[in-house]
């Protein structure tokens, strides 16, 4: 699977905003979930916000009220609008996709498997 980021992370001042975008491609039969994870220095990999079928978005507690995610799963695309950023938001942010990926397609046989992918990640640094 390949991820394409329309906007990359960078240095943002506390209280500022940043919008990330991500599109997934590569023999995708169906997209079940997409969203964002992050990993801050010295902390565990954690979910930020995930959208699933039906447009239902699951936000982590720290993201509620500050982060807004939108997505179009039919186009394998998600956006993450981050507002009121805090130094504690400093982390590497990873685009995430849970998909059914085509493994082979020939004759009358379509083979696929359900897989989870994370992008290479982009560093968001929030300064105080």
Q: Which residue has the tokens 């010295």?
A: 42
Q: Residue 106 CB: number of other CB atoms within 10 A?
A: 7
126: Cα separation from own chain's centroid: 19
pLDDT tens for 22-55 read: 999 999 999 999 999 999 999 999 999 999 988 8
pLDDT tens for 82-111 read: 999 999 999 999 999 999 999 998 989 999
Per-residue model confidence (pLDDT) at position 92: 96
| CA–CA gap between residue 105 and residue 102 (Å, rounded) | 7
Q: Which of 3-7, 29-33, 56-60 has the lowest mean pLDDT?
A: 3-7
| CA–CA gap between residue 121 and residue 41 (Å, rounded) | 14
**Which region, left, alpha or beta, applies to residue 107 given φ > 0 means left and ψ of -120 to 50 means alpha?**
left
């Amino acid at each position: 699977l390949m991820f394409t980021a329309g906007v990359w992370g960078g240095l943002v001042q506390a209280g500022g905003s940043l919008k990330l975008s991500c599109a997934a491609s590569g023999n995708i039969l169906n997209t079940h979930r997409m969203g964002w994870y992050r990993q801050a220095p010295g902390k565990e990999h954690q979910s930020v916000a995930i959208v699933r079928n039906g447009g239902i978005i699951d936000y982590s507690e720290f993201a509620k009220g500050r982060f807004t995610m939108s997505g179009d799963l039919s186009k394998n695309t998600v956006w993450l609008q981050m507002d009121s950023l805090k130094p504690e938001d400093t982390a590497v942010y990873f685009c995430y996709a849970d998909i059914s990926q085509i493994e082979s397609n020939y004759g009358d046989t379509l083979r696929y498997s359900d897989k989870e992918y994370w992008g290479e990640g982009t560093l968001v640094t929030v300064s105080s």
